[in-house]
Structure 1
Amino acid sequence: MSGIPVPFSDIAKPANDLLNKDFYHTTAANLEVKSKAPNGVTFNVKGKSAHDGPISGSVSTTITQSNFRISHINGRGKIEGKYSDKATGLTLTQTWTTSNSLDTKLELEDNLTKGLKAEVLTNYLPAKSTYGGKLNLLYKQPNIHTRLFTDLFKGPTATMDVTLGHEGFLIGAEGGYDVGKAAITKYALAAGYSQGSYAAAVTATNNLTIFSASYYHKVNTEVEAGAKATWDSTAGSNVGLEVATKYKLDPSSFAKAKINDRGIAALAYNVKLGTGVTLGLGASLDTQNLNQAAHKVGASFTFEG
């Protein structure tokens, strides 16, 4: 029997991850420090320096005591209470933030029927007397994975997607509808095949105006390869092409490389320097204009403890 297929948004995920993740040239420098004290208090500090623009950062502190949690992020704090009943699949989370927003999330999983999860999310701003409300339904069974996301106070609007799978073959569709405007807001289609070490997908997104075909292959335990071709029917007849590869140098490091049809090449190197310390280095080169200052380099440091 086939397993539960991936959601619609993940049909082309293997190739997309290989082409887009772990390339560090997009920012000049990125720093992240994660630590957890013995008493359960966690700290998360992030800093980012863009190639063009100011340095940004955030500081997050979370104190967890049973089902009660206090968090503080960049001067914005929140108090969160959570109640869960495993027997009924009910989870209730309420959050009050220092911006005076009261958020409630009610989750009910495998209660009405196995594989169905319902989420009700509400938001209330007392100072403005404004409300927000969303209802999400997620249903998973062998051969089918479908989701419905609705915003009850804006439109109302709804986005639904479904993926059908059988023996590695996948086919999916997505659609959006605005009840207030009585209009379809978006639609997309996708088909794919995933089996063991390789996966292929064809997608038609942005109201069937952007078409892409992607392929991913895990050649062996050390080497991965992938490619993606994209055509925007509204922008002309040119087809964009990207190819990428990943090579696992040893158990603690790997290198990645990719190049597109415009001659833009990117290189990346990731290594675990020790327990909880990871370094990432990256560079982007315009191979058709090597004598110009269009190249980018970046570095990423992550500390966990």
Structure 2
Amino acid sequence: MGNGPAPFSDIGKRTKDLLTKDYNFDHKFTLSMLSSTGLGLTTTGLKRDQIFVGDINTLYKSGNTAVDVKVDTYSNVSTKVTVNDILPGTRTVFSFKIPDHKSGKLDVQYLHHHAAIDSSIGLNPTPLLELSAAIGSKDLSLGGEVGFDTASASFTKYNAGISFNKPDFSAALFLTDKGQTLKASYFHSLKPHDETTVAAEMTHRFSTYENSFTIGSSHKVDPYTMIKTRFSDNGKVATLCQREWRPKSLITISAEYDTKAINAASKFGVALALKP
């Protein structure tokens, strides 16, 4: 399976992660604990402006089955049951939310040496159907996805993409927004020690002839400290510093400044993740 193509949703993932992952402009706290019996507990708190929200997440693993239950501040309960290898190469996920009785969903993933297929169906009288597939190899893959709403008998999305991957770089080209947007992304890990990586994403919208881009970089100052930067054509500049101050425990400080809105205050965020 390791030599097969990644799922369609993972095409361009390395670029997306470098440009967006860990950037946080609020105050966030996460505490994760895992016992030897397979039971994990994660508590998350988020302060955004003057509003504080949080959730408690419990994960239990036994054999090929994992049960994930999350309760948030508003008493919503989200449950996800994952079963691996019901059939060889498959992963089945059943999820639902309480009190939303129409939120039930069944996802099935199948991984093969030359294909990766994901399907999703809503468990209600008028379900939303989604299907994505990628074919090829670990280095070169071609794929697409489609969504269909049975309630309105209309397509909610249809996208396509192609990617080329190597250990030190990857490139991807997408046709998204029902064929209205062309997006290209590139990721490169610089030699000799792979301590610095760069990424870029460019977008062209056919309907408005509008072009946009975002470029970013990541640099490991030492084995425990990472600095990331990001710049977009809309004038927004962002940076973050992440420090692993103890094993698996991270503190991340992020900031963003809009060069085109001089009078606007800069955004600033702190995220603390603890794993005893």
Aligned equivalent of 1:208: 179
Using the alignment, how far apart are the partners of 1:195 and 1:63 within structure 2?
Answer: 35
Residue 205 of structure 1, CA deviation: 1.5
Q: Which residue type is aligned with residue 242 of structure 2?
A: N
| SS across alignment from 1:142 | coil
Structure 1: gaps of 5 or more residues: 78-97
After superposition, what is the alpha-carbon deviation per residue over 1:76-100, rounded to whole angstroms, capped at 9, x for unaligned? 99xxxxxxxxxxxxxxxxxxxx97x
CA contact (8 A) 1:147 1:162 kept: yes
Q: Which amino acid in 2 is paired with 1:115?
A: G
- Aligned residue in 1 for 2:54: 57
What do residues 220-273 of structure 1 show as CA deviations (whole Å, max 9, x unaligned)? 320000000112334x22211100000000000110001011221101101112
* Distance in structure 2 (CA, Å) of the matches to 1:152 and 1:160: 15
> What whole-Å deviation, never above 9, does each CA across 1:160-203 have from its counterpart, x for those lacking one?
11101246221111112234544333211111111121101111
Distance 1:195 1:122, change over 3 A: closer
- Name the structure 2 match of 1:254: 226
Alignment of 1:167-186 (within 5 A): 168-186=139-157
One of 256, 259, 265 as aligned partner of 1:287: 259
Check 1:231–1:63 CA distance in 2 against 1; reply closer, same or farther (3 A cut): closer
Contact 1:2–1:166 (CA<8 Å) still a contact in 2? no
The answer on whether the counterparts of 1:266 and 1:284 sit within 8 Å (CA) in structure 2 is yes
Q: Percent identity?
A: 22
Matches within 5 A, 1:223-262: 223-234=196-207, 236-262=208-234
- Residue in structure 1 matched with residue 240 of structure 2 by the alignment: 268
Q: 1:256 to 1:71 in 2, by over 3 A?
A: closer
The DSSP-based 3-state class of the residue aligned with 2:6 is: coil
- Residue in structure 2 matched with residue 162 of structure 1 by the alignment: 133
CA distance in 2, matches of 1:2, 1:47: 36
Aligned-residue RMSD, C-alpha: 3.7
Question: Highest Rg: 1 or 2?
Answer: 1
State the TM-score, normalized to the length of structure 2: 0.82
Given that residues 12 and 192 in structure 1 are in contact (C-alpha distance below 8 angstroms), is that contact kept between their aligned partners in structure 2? yes
Distance 1:216 1:59, change over 3 A: same
1:122 is displaced (CA, Å) by 7.6
User: Which consecutive residues of structure 2, in runs of 5 or more, have no partner in the other structure?
Assistant: none
Kindly state the Cα deviation for residue 157 of structure 1 after the two structures are TM-superposed: 3.1
Question: Normalising by the residue count of structure 1, what TM-score does the alignment of the two structures yield?
Answer: 0.75
Deviation of the 1:294 alpha carbon? 3.2
Once residues 124 and 32 of structure 1 are traced to their aligned partners in structure 2, the CA distance between those partners, rounded to angstroms, is 22
